């Protein structure tokens, strides 16, 4: 069965499949389509969709709903992410399961509201004060957008953490004919309920059981340093334990969080590492190279953070050159270069709102 839809519809369908029952957002190009779709369809399934008065209110609504037990999602673009930053820090500190979709556009500031770009990569990772880790996924096409939305909800539920899904103007607003057989999602996960205290764990990598607001047992939410009961503390030992836990529960699972697609060719001359929209051009470049009898490998990253280092190192073995195409000044290449050692490194970038062509990637990989 085939359907004609855009990336916003793919994300909305993924959210509904994952059991999302609360959405709040503020209209912002090019993410408004997700807001409109969720406001149309979520009430049909018994959920709640709200247009907030601004971005600050919207993510705040989501945090409150999530802590009351809802599966919550919001969607915005780069300027909205800047406004979300404080509340993403709150969600990190309070271990709130939450999905945040960033439909990227040209920046900085207002930039190009209707111009595609993928320049929020480092922002997504480092958006909170303190620099504590976040899980960040990136979609390359409509089927990915659907599947990764479900993955984002699953990760948020399992790890009690905000999760960011990166899309782009080009993906969100482009209609495409898709084979619905490709819209395959993992089994839907739910958060583990606890008896309290609400932030208790044994080993640093453990995830505290969830204690919802409004239940028989009281719980607390604060962005300040707190102990396992949610009570504010300035005790250095308690602070060290809490903050190392926020790192460990994500970084210790880097392997299981890594979602990549490998198309590696034995004896390849070069490797293309791609994510987001340029991955489509990278696939075309690989097909063209092989049609000419050249050996070119491809690694598509759907998980950007934690950096899937093991997969990247494996793909780099034996190649003489690595190429990273990006719709920004070369943000994710910063993560690849330290892993590349003495391998020749080429960054292919565009920041003018146009798309990277397969020809450009091919010329960079196999000059």
The pLDDT of residue 214 = 80
Cis peptide before 116 (omega within 30 of 0): no
42 vs 264: CA distance, rounded Å: 41
Distance from the Cα of residue 152 to its chain's centroid: 7
The pLDDT of residue 134 = 98
Q: What is the pTM of this model?
A: 0.97
158 vs 149: CA distance, rounded Å: 14
**What DSSP designation does 182 have?**
G
In the chain, count of helices (H) and strands (E)?
13, 14
CA distances, 81 to each of 37, 55, 210, 250, 318 (Å): 20, 8, 26, 21, 39
Work out the number of other CB atoms within 10 angstroms of the CB of residue 367.
8
197 vs 217: CA distance, rounded Å: 9
332 vs 346: CA distance, rounded Å: 12
CA distances, 86 to each of 32, 92, 153 (Å): 22, 10, 21
pLDDT confidence bin for 110, thresholds 50/70/90: very high
Q: Which tens digits make up the pLDDT trace of 280-303?
A: 999 999 999 999 999 999 999 999
Work out the number of other CB atoms within 10 angstroms of the CB of residue 19.
17
pLDDT confidence bin for 217, thresholds 50/70/90: confident
347 vs 352: CA distance, rounded Å: 16
Domains 2-182 and 261-365 share a fold: yes
Q: Which helix (H) or strand (E) holds 103?
A: strand 98-104
324 vs 256: CA distance, rounded Å: 24
**pLDDT surpasses 90 at 215:** no
Q: Span 2-182: which CATH code?
A: 3.40.50.970
Task: Sketch the domain layout of the chain as residue ranges.
Answer: 2-182, 261-365
Please report, rounded to a whole number, the percentage of residues in the chain having pLDDT higher than 70: 100
The pLDDT of residue 157 = 98
Cis peptide before 3 (omega within 30 of 0): no
**pLDDT surpasses 80 at 216:** no
Rg (CA), the chain: 21
Place of tokens 């899980």: 135
Q: Is 61 helix (H, G, I), strand (E, B) or coil?
A: helix
DSSP string of 11-53, one letter each residue: HHHHHHHHT--EEEE---TTTHHHHHHHHHHGGGGT-EEEE-S
pLDDT confidence bin for 213, thresholds 50/70/90: confident
Q: Is 108 helix (H, G, I), strand (E, B) or coil?
A: coil
- Of 309, 308, 314, 339, whose CA–CA distance to 264 is shortest? 314
Q: Which residues contact 55 (CB under 8 A, 6 or more apart)?
A: 26, 28, 76, 79, 80, 83, 84
Own/partner contacts of 353-357, CB < 8 Å, gap of 24 or more, are 353/106, 353/112, 353/115, 353/116, 353/117, 355/116, 355/170, 355/277, 355/278, 355/281, 355/327, 356/277, 356/278, 356/281, 356/325, 356/327, 357/281
pLDDT confidence bin for 15, thresholds 50/70/90: very high
Work out the number of other CB atoms within 10 angstroms of the CB of residue 204.
16
Q: Which tens digits make up the pLDDT trace of 37-77?
A: 999 999 999 999 999 999 999 999 999 999 999 999 999 99
What is the mean pLDDT of the segment spanning 304-308?
98
Q: Which tens digits make up the pLDDT trace of 66-101?
A: 999 999 999 999 999 999 999 999 999 999 999 999
Q: Which residues contact 31 (CB under 8 A, 6 or more apart)?
A: 8, 25, 75, 76, 77, 80, 101, 102, 103, 172
- Of 339, 346, 286, 6, whose CA–CA distance to 145 is shortest? 6
137 vs 135: CA distance, rounded Å: 7
Whether the Cβ atoms of residue 330 and residue 348 lie closer than 8 Å to each other: no
Q: Span 261-365: which CATH code?
A: 3.40.50.920
- Of 192, 195, 137, whose CA–CA distance to 168 is shortest? 137
Q: Which of 42-46, 68-72, 216-220, 267-271 has the lowest mean pLDDT?
A: 216-220
pLDDT confidence bin for 1, thresholds 50/70/90: confident
**pLDDT surpasses 80 at 172:** yes
């Amino acid at each position: 069965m085939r359907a004609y839809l855009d990336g916003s519809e793919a994300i909305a369908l993924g959210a509904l499949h994952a059991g999302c029952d609360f959405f709040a957002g503020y209209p912002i190009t090019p993410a408004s389509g997700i807001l409109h779709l969720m406001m149309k369809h979520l009430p049909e399934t018994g959920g709640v969709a709200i247009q907030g008065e601004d971005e600050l209110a919207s993510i705040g609504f989501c945090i409150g709903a999530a802590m009351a037990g809802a599966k919550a999602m919001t969607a915005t673009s780069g300027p909205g992410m800047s406004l979300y930053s404080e509340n993403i820090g709150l969600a990190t500190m309070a271990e709130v399961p939450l999905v945040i979709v960033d439909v990227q556009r040209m920046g900085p500031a207002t930039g190009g509201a209707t111009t595609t770009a993928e320049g929020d990569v480092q922002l997504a990772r480092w958006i909170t004060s303190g620099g504590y880790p976040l899980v960040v996924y990136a979609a390359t096409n409509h089927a990915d957008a659907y599947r990764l939305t479900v993955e984002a909800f699953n990760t948020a539920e399992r790890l009690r953490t905000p999760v960011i899904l990166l899309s782009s103007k080009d993906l969100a607003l482009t209609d495409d004919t898709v084979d619905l057989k490709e819209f395959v999602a993992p089994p839907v996960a739910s958060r583990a309920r606890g008896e309290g205290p609400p932030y208790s764990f044994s080993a640093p990598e453990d995830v505290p059981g969830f204690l919802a607001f409004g239940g028989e047992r009281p719980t607390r939410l604060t962005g300040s340093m707190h102990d396992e009961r949610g009570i504010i503390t300035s005790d250095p030992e308690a602070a060290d334990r809490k903050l190392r836990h926020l790192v460990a529960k994500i970084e210790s699972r880097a392997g299981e969080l890594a979602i990549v697609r490998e198309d590696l060719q034995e004896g390849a001359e070069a490797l293309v590492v791609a994510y987001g929209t340029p991955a489509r051009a990278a696939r075309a470049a690989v097909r063209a190279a092989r049609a000419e009898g050249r050996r070119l490998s491809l690694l598509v990253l759907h998980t950007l953070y934690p950096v899937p280092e093991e997969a990247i190192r494996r793909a780099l073995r034996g190649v003489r050159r690595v190429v990273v195409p990006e719709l920004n000044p070369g943000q994710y290449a910063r993560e690849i270069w330290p892993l590349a050692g003495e391998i020749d490194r080429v960054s292919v970038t565009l920041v003018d709102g146009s798309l990277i062509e397969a020809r450009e990637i091919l010329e960079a990989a196999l000059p």
